[in-house]
Structure formats: structure tokens, C-alpha cells
Chains A and B, each alone.
Chain A
């Protein structure tokens, strides 16, 4: 492989990492908020709001049913509004984030559902207000599961980011398609695949390590 090819791969890795990290950050935060709202507004939970719950439920289902490649194209006007352009690595972060929010929200909801309901009794009995229940009980108790959700979301975003090449987002996926697929360069294809595998492995191990560190159950 030529030196310029290696440089190209390194640059592509940088773009992938940038897209994945930034979109993971935003999607995790927003997904966490939506997931918590989805959970606490259920009947029998600390802030039952059936209407809000239903609407949120519908939005999340809708968001999750659109294939990423379609979503990316469909929200181009929105992307342009946020990122100032609809093409490039930074612009790709917008659809990646939008796609990952409902995904993350669902994972968060599942994690929160695992918290023993008895803890809510204990919280009420101690006189915690709803907001205190979230900050002092739900989030700390769910932390291992939440970190696991972030890990899964991040890996999914590595996957999605490979498609971002379609709107000029660059990254390893883009290199793989352009050199490996369109120009039949087997060595480049292999290199991108290997780098992607290593990247996912790294994310998974780091996630695993963090989960273990905060899990006292």
C-alpha cells in the first residue's frame, strides 16, 4: 500500500471517529432525556402523563422505522439548517444523531424498567420529589445499564457512519466503497475492514470496562 493511501486511511479514521464521537455524545444525552421521560410518564410511575407518553412512544417508533440511508436524505433541509451545509463530515453528524436518539431512548427505557419497583416505594417513603427520584435513584441505579446502552449506540453509529459517505461525510466506509469496491483494491478494502473491526472492539472493551467499574450489584 502506498504512503499516500495510508495517509488517506488515517484521515478517514479521524473522520469516522469524529462523526461517531460527536453523534454519540448528542444522541446519548438527548436519548437519555427522552428515555427517562418515556419511563416516568408511564401509568404507575412517578409522573404519569399518558398523553405525553403516547406521543413520545409514536415519535420514537416512527424514528426507528426509517432506514438510515433514507433518513439521511429526507432530513437534508434540517441538516442544512443546523450544520449550515448538507455535505461533509460535520453535516453527517446531524442525521447520525437524529437516527441514534430514538434508538438510545428505547435502550434507556429498557434499562430503567429493570430497576426493582420496590426502590420506588422506598424513594416515595423517604419523601423524594420526582426530580430527586431521577437524579438520586433512577440514574445512579441504572448507570451500568446506561453505559452499556451508550456502548451499543456508539457501535451502531460506527455502522451508520459508513453510509455517511453517500452525502460526502467521508470516513472509513467511504474509503472502503470508493477504493475497495469501485476500484477493486482488495488491500484497501481489507485495511478498512480491519480498522473498523478494531475500532468496534476497542469501543466494546472500553464500554465493558466502564460498566464493570460502576456495577456494584
Chain B
């Protein structure tokens, strides 16, 4: 549905040239949700603004729904843009128009009659759950509600593509979740192709089918969300993935921990579950097979795209020999294992 080929974009600021986008090739298939994640300044905004030509590339081609956007004149481009909805971090609603009138704006452009507009807007208000706020002005709405209006406005002309430019970055976590749910619902119900950019891997994890990682203007990794989580090779990607897990060794343990084993100490291990990990109840199996006790200190494991991934912090209680064997077992079953240290028993 969206095809970017060989996109280059440079910005000149004084004597410096910034390669904001450097040979970007990206394909978003029909009906998929593709997320692009990257650190600040990576070129995410520049990239998503290419897709509806808010920004023009220096080089390359942009094809949306079979239309080569760079070949269109102004009138045809405006026409094509109606097939590409967009929502923004700062919502960009018209403060002079009510919720109803904001959503009606794109329909006025197409030349819908008053009656048709009323019917379509009411439909959309229902979809985004704002039926009771139709006559409110944007200033009277919460951030989440504003974004719902933004979504309804973007969907009004029945686009085939939805672009989300950091659509949840101005919202609190709970609201973020409800907006992401809405975007997913739209994707499922209407079969819309969605391209979103974000600096939060959590967003990607929650709703995306595919992800691309952008760093310094280059796409450094791309693939299914599950496979990136398990197989990411670049440091940027790994950092983003690790940032989604919130594991810490409890303070009290840290003080009792030594880097090497000694008398009366037990290993504290970090177990990483990825897409490659064998799908079996491995913890209880290890406990049974090697006759050890396993005490879980902390865990952050999630289920996304049919795969479990995340980390556990656990203590292994047993003889040195038993513990070694259990660790071998974990590694054989493709658990990423890291011994963080050895904790002495309290005396």
C-alpha cells in the first residue's frame, strides 16, 4: 500500500548538511500496522511526512495505493491526500470549530451535502466514542478526547492509509492505551493500512505487526515485531527493546551479592525469554530434573504476537553442580542466561 524507494533527504543548516533520511526503502503491506521507532533526531518525523508529501524528498519515489505522488500536480496531490489520513502529536484541531465541525471539515471539501455530513460525522463520533461531545469545542476536551477527534477527522473521507505522527506522545499511559486500542480497532474493522512513528517501543509492542528501526536517517532493522524482539542484532534496537523491560535487582540483594561463588552462596540469574525459547514450562521442569529450588525475585514477561518474551530474575538453590546443570538446561532451551552474581544466604 505504501512503498518508499531510495528516499534521500538532506537539510542544510549553515555550513553543515544533515542527512535526515539516507536511502530509505520501506514497504507497508495492505492492512498492516507498521511502526517506526528510533531515537530523537533519527528522522522519524521527516520520514512519515514524506508519505503524504508534507516534506519532499531530494531523491526517490513514493507510491501510495499505486499512485506515484511525486508525479502529481497540486490539484491531484490534494485529491490523493484525502486517501491518506494523518493524526498528530499536538492534534492540530481547529479551535474555532466544534468537535462536529472539525470532523465535518474534510467532508465539506469533498462536497458532501449537509445531510450526508451529519450522517457520516455521527457514525464517526460513535466509532471514536465521543457521541456526547459533538457540540464541545476542542479547548473543552482532554488530550485523549482531542486525539479521538483527530482520528475521526482523519477517517472522515474514508482513507486507505492512516499516518500517526507520535500520536500518543502527549498523553498519559492510560490514555495512550485507550488510543492505541482505538487505532487497532480501526485497523481491524476498516482494514486500514497504518504507519506510525514513535520513540516508545511499548507502543510498537502493543499494536504493530511490523517494525522498522531508524537510526541517523537509516533503517537499520526491520521485520515482524516478534522476530525483532527475539533477533535484533543492532545496539540501537537492543536498547529500545531492553527499555521496555523494567527489571531491577532489589537493593537488599545487591548488597549481599558477590561476583564469584563462595560458601553458602547461590547464583542469581537473569533469564531472557525470546521468540526462540522452547515453549514449555521450563522453570518447573528444571526444578524437577535437577532437584533444585527456584525462587523468582522479579519478572517482566509479556505476551505479544503469540510469543512470550521478557526477563526473570531468579535465585537457584542447590549444590554448585546442580545449579550448573540447570543453567545448561536453560541455555539448551534457548533461554538467554546471564549470571548476575552470587548471593550469600542471610546469617
Query: Smallest Cβ distance from B324 to chain A, in angstroms?
Result: 59
Name the interface size band of chain B.
20 to 34
Residues A126 and B88 in contact in the complex (CB < 8 Å), given A121-B54, A141-B95, A216-B95: no
Interface bits A120-134 vs B (CB < 8 Å: 1, else 0): 011011111100100
Q: How far is the CA of A124 from the CA of B85 in the complex (A)?
A: 11
Answer yes or no: B329 CB below 8 A from chain A CBs. Answer: no
Q: Are the C-beta atoms of B75 and A118 separated by less than 8 Å?
A: no
The answer, yes or no, to whether B96 is at the interface (CB within 8 Å) is yes
Stretch at the interface among B102-110, B205-213, B267-275, B313-321: B102-110
* Shortest Cβ distance from residue A147 to the other chain B in the assembled complex, whole angstroms: 12
Q: Is the CB of B108 within 8 A of A124?
A: no
A126 touches B105 (CB 8 A): yes
Q: Is B84 on the interface with A (CB-CB < 8 A)?
A: yes
CB B201 to nearest CB in A, in angstroms, measures 26
With A136-B108, A216-B139 known to touch, is A126 a contact of B94 (CB < 8 Å)? no
Do A216 and B86 form a contact, CB below 8 Å, given A121-B54, A128-B78, A129-B78?
no
Provide 12 A-B residue pairs closer than 8 Å at the C-beta atoms, listed in order of the A residue: A118-B90, A121-B54, A121-B88, A122-B86, A125-B85, A126-B82, A127-B78, A127-B80, A127-B82, A216-B95, A216-B139, A217-B95
Does B245 count as interface, using CB distance less than 8 angstroms?
no
Given the known interface contacts A118-B88, A121-B88, the answer about A126 and B96 at a Cβ–Cβ threshold of 8 Å is no
1/0 contact string of A169-209 vs chain B (CB within 8 Å):
00000000000000000000000000000000000000000
Q: Is A119 interfacial (CB-CB < 8 Å)?
A: yes
Q: Using Cβ atoms and an 8 Å threshold, which residues of chain A touch B84?
A: 125
Judge if B97 is at the interface, Cβ distance under 8 Å: yes
In the complex, A19→B138 CA distance in Å?
A: 40
B52 on the A face (CB < 8 A): yes
Chain A 87-128 near chain B by CB (<8 Å), digits 1 or 0: 000000000000000000000000000001011011011111
Q: Which residues of A contact B109 (CB under 8 A)?
A: 126-128, 132
Which residues of chain B have C-beta atoms less than 8 A from A124's C-beta?
A: 52, 54, 81
Which residue of chain B has the shortest Cβ distance to A129 in the bound complex?
Answer: B78
Instruction: Determine if A126 and B95 form an interchain contact, defined as CB atoms under 8 angstroms apart.
Output: no
- Chain A CB count within 10 A is highest, among B74, B82, B88, B95, for B95
Are B52 and A125 within 8 A (Cβ)?
yes
Flag if B95 contacts A121 (CB, 8 Å): no
Bound CA span A141–B106, Å = 16
CA distance A217 to B78 in the complex (A): 28
Contact B96 A122 (CB under 8 A): no
Which of A121, A125, A141 is within 8 Å of B94, CB to CB? A141
State in angstroms the CA–CA spacing of A128 and B94 once bound together. Answer: 14
| Secondary structure class of chain A's binding surface, majority of residues | helix
| CB of B79 within 8 Å of the partner chain | yes
Q: Using an 8 Å CB-CB cutoff, how does the interface string of A122-162 with B read, 1 for contact, 0 for none? A: 10111111001000110011010000000000000000000
How far, in whole Å, are A116 and B89 apart by their CA atoms in the complex?
13
The reply to whether the CB of B137 lies closer than 8 angstroms to some CB of chain A is: yes
Chain B residue numbers with a CB within 8 Å of A118 are 88, 90, 92
Set B49, B75, B81, B92: member contacting A119, Cβ < 8 A:
B92
A217 and B88 form a contact (CB under 8 A): no
CB distance from A123 to the nearest CB of B (A): 9
Whether B54 pairs with A141 at a CB distance below 8 angstroms is: no
A116→B105 CA distance, assembly (Å): 18
Q: A121-B88, A126-B82 are in contact. Are A140 and B94 (CB under 8 A)?
A: yes
Tell me the minimal C-beta distance from B193 to chain A in angstroms: 16
Pairwise interchain contact B96-A141, C-beta atoms closer than 8 A: yes
- Cα of A98 to Cα of B153 in the assembled complex, Å: 43
A140, B92: Cβ atoms under 8 Å?
Answer: no
6 nearest A-B pairs in the assembled complex, by CB-CB distance: A122-B92, A127-B78, A127-B81, A216-B137, A125-B86, A140-B96
* Cβ 8 A contact of A143, one of B81, B92, B96: B96
Q: Are B54 and A126 in contact (CB under 8 A)?
A: no
A145 CB to closest chain B CB (Å) equals: 11
Q: How far is the CA of A7 from the CA of B81 in the complex (A)?
A: 65
- Shortest Cβ gap from A99 to chain B (Å): 31
Find out whether the CB atom of B139 lies under 8 angstroms from the CB atom of A217: yes
The docked-state distance in angstroms from the alpha carbon of A158 to that of B69 is 54
Contact of B75 (CB < 8 Å), options: A116, A122, A129: A129
Chain B residues with CB under 8 Å of A128's CB are: 78, 109
Q: List residues of chain A with CB within 8 A of the CB of B138.
A: 216
Q: Which residues of chain B come closer than 8 Å to A125, judged between CB atoms?
A: 52, 54, 81, 84-86, 163
Measured between alpha carbons, how far is A194 from B74 in the docked complex, in Å? Answer: 57
Contacts of B92 in A (CB 8 A): 116, 118-119, 121-122
Q: In the assembly, what is the distance between CA of A122 and CA of B87, in Å? A: 8
Q: Please measure, in the bound complex, the distance between the C-alpha atom of A126 and the C-alpha atom of B94, giving whole angstroms.
A: 13
